[in-house]
């Protein structure tokens, strides 16, 4: 086996997910009922037989640390296997925190050198895909590459993607990070494979500059300087950076585009009592094309929705086209449409959410909350009989007692 270690970039918050990342990094955001974003890259590392992994975490890391634990749920335990959370450590000042993705890896060169690897694979924790990295490694070795970057095609061109120009033989001849106009149809998946010696040299060089991002400050300058190649990935991939992208990704799971059994995605089913000691879901109402987690009690109607473990939907309540996180209670005769509801919320009797103003965008977030989705933060309580318009975001721990919340509102 090749000597290779993995470095997972898991520190970012991502403002475009609004209240979902108010109290957690994006890597720890729940998805598909029982998983979190980071489960996908961890499972890929596990299936790829990459035995030692460092997780670079910064923003509110507790939930991520609790979820990963000692790594046993991804089989990262053993005499020669392990996973470590790597927070910033250089100093006590805020400026000593990770100043970018490259700086995060630079601060942990000692972790890399401890294992004396031939190669280092660096991957973002907030993308959803299934890839055996051994395919990437074999491509890298066949091309005798110094650096290999993973690319995929996407139908929609977003301004936060990096784009690569790849020749027929795979050589990367140009790379632009977040260009005004895409230079190709191939977007970066934020997966980089480096020869270790070159990586360390590049990180030390970059440490002397004022900006420290792989996509912006290192990769664009490598074509022509070293043997850099682009690996083309042609299967399902989702970035899910915005609320709308996150919502659509979950709906694609319900529509069968994502086969988690085939992917063999692992997660921590014990932390937070996701499944531990729970009874199977009790369904006395109507469930159509939905995922319902263990410990749920469904007496109302659930249609085309993802219901995480421990959720209660009381009699005559209706949840449609929605994503409901753990332990939320939806009381009698409440109606929810296109709602993303974080953990531990209480939706009162006769409440209506998302049934008015679907064509009225958010006043504060008009570019990212405009398709009729309503987002409730962790621990929100909505009193009896209240109506909340679509394209509204309510931040964590708020008690909503006004009779009507206008569409497009933001409540902090």
**Contact (CB, 8 A) for 208 and 305:** no
Q: Which of 264, 281, 245, 11 is nearest to 122 (CA)?
A: 11
pLDDT exceeds cutoff 90 at 154:
no
Domains of the chain: 4-263 (3.90.550.10), 278-411 (2.160.10.10)
Percent of the chain with pLDDT over 90: 85
As a whole number of angstroms, the distance between CA 131 and CA 135 comes to 8
Burial of 156 (0-12, 13-18, 19+ CB in 10 A): exposed
Instruction: Give residue-wise pLDDT tens across range 159-184.
Output: 778 999 999 999 999 999 999 888 99
Each residue of 24-72: pLDDT tens digit?
999 999 999 999 999 999 999 999 999 999 999 877 778 888 999 999 9
**pLDDT by residue (tens digit) across 239-277?**
999 999 999 999 999 999 999 999 999 999 887 555 567
Fill in the DSSP letter of residue 281. P
> pLDDT band at 392, cuts 50/70/90?
very high
**Radius of gyration, CA atoms only, the chain:** 22
Q: Is there a contact between 326 and 345 (Cβ–Cβ < 8 Å)?
A: no
pTM for this one?
A: 0.94
Helices (H), 143-291: 196-206, 243-254, 260-263
Contacts with 123 (C-beta within 8 Å, 6 or more apart), sequence order: 6, 7, 8, 9, 41, 44, 45, 190, 191, 192
Cβ neighbours around 256 below 10 Å, total: 8
């Amino acid at each position: 086996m090749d000597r290779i270690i993995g470095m997972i970039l898991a520190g970012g918050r991502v403002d475009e997910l609004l209240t979902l990342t108010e109290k957690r990094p994006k890597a720890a955001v729940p998805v598909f009922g029982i998983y979190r974003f980071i489960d996908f890259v961890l499972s890929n590392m596990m299936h790829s037989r990459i035995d030692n992994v460092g997780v670079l975490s910064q923003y509110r890391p507790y939930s991520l640390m609790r979820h990963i634990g000692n790594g046993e749920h991804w089989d990262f335990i053993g005499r020669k296997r392990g996973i470590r959370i790597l927070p910033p450590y250089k100093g006590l000042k805020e400026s000593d925190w990770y100043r970018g993705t490259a700086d995060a890896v630079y601060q942990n060169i000692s972790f890399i050198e401890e294992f004396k690897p031939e190669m280092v694979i660096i991957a973002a924790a907030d993308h959803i895909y299934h890839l055996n990295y051994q395919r990437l490694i074999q491509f890298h070795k066949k091309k005798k590459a110094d650096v290999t970057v993973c690319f995929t095609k996407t139908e929609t061109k977003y301004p936060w993607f990096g784009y690569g120009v790849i020749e027929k033989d795979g050589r990367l001849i140009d790379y632009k990070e977040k260009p005004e106009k895409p230079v190709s149809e191939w977007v970066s998946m934020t997966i980089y494979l480096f020869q270790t010696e070159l990586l360390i040299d590049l990180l030390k060089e970059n440490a002397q500059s004022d900006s420290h991002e792989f996509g912006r400050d290192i990769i664009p300058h490598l074509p022509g300087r070293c043997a850099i190649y682009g690996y083309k990935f042609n299967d399902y991939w989702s970035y899910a950076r915005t609320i709308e992208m996150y919502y659509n990704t979950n709906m694609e799971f319900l529509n069968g585009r994502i086969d988690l059994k085939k992917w063999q995605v692992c997660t921590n089913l014990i932390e937070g009592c996701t499944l531990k000691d729970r009874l199977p879901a009790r369904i006395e109402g109507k469930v159509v094309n939905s995922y319902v987690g263990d410990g749920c009690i469904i007496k109302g109607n659930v249609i085309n929705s993802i219901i995480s473990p421990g959720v209660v939907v009381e009699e005559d309540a209706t949840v449609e086209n929605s994503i409901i996180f753990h332990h939320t209670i939806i009381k009698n005769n409440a109606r929810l449409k296109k709602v993303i509801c974080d953990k531990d919320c209480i939706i009162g009797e006769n409440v209506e959410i998302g049934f008015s103003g679907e064509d009225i965008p958010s006043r504060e977030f008009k570019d990212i909350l405009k398709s009729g989705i309503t987002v409730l933060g962790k621990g929100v309580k909505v009193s009896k009989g209240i109506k909340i318009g679509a394209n509204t975001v309510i931040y964590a721990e708020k008690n909503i007692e006004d009779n009507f919340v206008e569409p497009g509102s933001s409540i902090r």
